[in-house]
Structure 1
Amino acid sequence: MLNIVSILLGILSLVIVIPATIPFLGWGNWFALPIIVAGIAAGQLSSHRSGRNFCLVVLAIAIVRLALGGGII
């Protein structure tokens, strides 16, 4: 059950992260980071690891975008 919660949180955060890759919308990643961390925590408590891994991929995308934009842009 926690794996499904983790996947749903990952999808929700991905919906926020994808538009945040557009220039001047990078601040949206800051809203997605707490959701991603909650998804990783739920995935870690689950017996399956697919939800956690999906959230880690979304986290990597968000962090790379924040690094490219200098944290804000």
Structure 2
Amino acid sequence: MGLISLLWGIFAMLWMILALIPLLGWGNWFLIPFAAVGAIIGAVGIALTSREKRGRAKAGLVLNGLVIVVAIVRLGIGGGVI
């Protein structure tokens, strides 16, 4: 679960960088739910794995959370949230 969440977060981060380009900000509307699913997978991975093997799941959870925050801020700045 941790590896899936980490890879999901990396893909979401690449998508977020693309959505920072002007006129491609609409991608943030799809990015937020996508990253939320990755964060949920990371949280489940943290809950189900042993304490020593939670590193990838924690990294995926943090990465997906960061993507969600940046996407919401980008929507707020760009006028996507009314």
Q: Fold conserved (TM > 0.5)?
A: yes
Identity of aligned residues (%): 39
1:7-46 alignment to 2 at 5 Å?
7-46=6-45
Measured after TM superposition, the shift of residue 5 of structure 1 is 0.8
> Any stretches of 5+ residues in structure 2 without a counterpart?
47-53
TM-score by length of 2: 0.77
TM-score by length of 1: 0.86
Aligned residue for 1:25, secondary structure, equals: coil
Kindly provide the CA deviation profile for residues 22-64 of structure 1, in whole angstroms up to 9, marking residues without a partner as x. Answer: 1111001112122101100001011222210111111111111
Measured after TM superposition, the shift of residue 15 of structure 1 is 1.6
Superposition RMSD in Å: 1.3
2:74 paired residue among 61, 65, 69: 65
In the alignment of these two chains, the number of paired residues is 71
Q: How far apart, CA to CA, are the structure 1 residues paired with 2:11 and 2:29?
A: 14
> Higher Cα Rg: structure 1 or 2?
2
Q: Which has the higher helix share?
A: 2
